[in-house]
Chains A and B, each alone.
Chain A
């Protein structure tokens, strides 16, 4: 069964902490994405990656960075967590090169910054 796995379902962190959210996919997909989900705003793209060591900013990259050292793993980093980064974070992956591609999502990480 194909999978996108996020390392934590729930996290509570303190303001100013450096936070790592990990995502692993087992489908050999080229594309990986990080979104945040907030009520009334839907999903907003933070960063995405087409390949190892490549990254592109999405719509709301401020306060975040990413790392993709291996094809299957895409990490989201909050350099200095703030309360306005309290949200649900969703990782997704998809294959490159076809408009038919469906994105596969992880189960989400609900991050609370206190």
Chain B
């Protein structure tokens, strides 16, 4: 079945450092790809998404590019802030399966001032 693999955390960075969280996927069709974020004590929020190859999703300074050739959707941010500390989930969905989301294990990001 479809699956998503994320880099293990926690990832600890200093403020203003560059962030990359790796995500690769396995899917039978052409999925849509998502990054969700979960701030402490809250539910998940959609951070960004991409629906086809070479699409770039971006939001709040984060971006990720849908790379079909490497089946990847790595999350990047040029300069992280303490307020970015959260758990980040990579996910995919396919129309054929009712938009059921398949999640990666999540990566904890800790940003120190």
Report how many A-B pairs have Cβ atoms within 8 Å.
69
Q: Which residues from B are CB-within-8-Å of A33?
A: 100-101
Number of interface residues of A (CB under 8 A): 31
Beyond A42-B89, A42-B106, A43-B89, is A103–B43 a contact (Cβ under 8 Å)?
A: no
Starting from the known contacts A99-B93, A100-B32, A104-B46, 16 additional A-B residue pairs (CB-CB under 8 Å) come to A4-B43, A31-B99, A40-B105, A41-B105, A42-B106, A43-B101, A45-B101, A45-B102, A92-B101, A99-B51, A99-B99, A100-B49, A103-B93, A105-B36, A105-B45, A107-B43
- B residues in contact (CB < 8 Å) with A: 31-32, 34, 36, 42-46, 49, 51, 89, 93-95, 98-106
Listed from nearest, the 10 A-B pairs whose CB atoms lie closest are: A42-B105, A105-B43, A43-B103, A105-B44, A107-B43, A99-B32, A42-B103, A99-B95, A102-B46, A101-B99
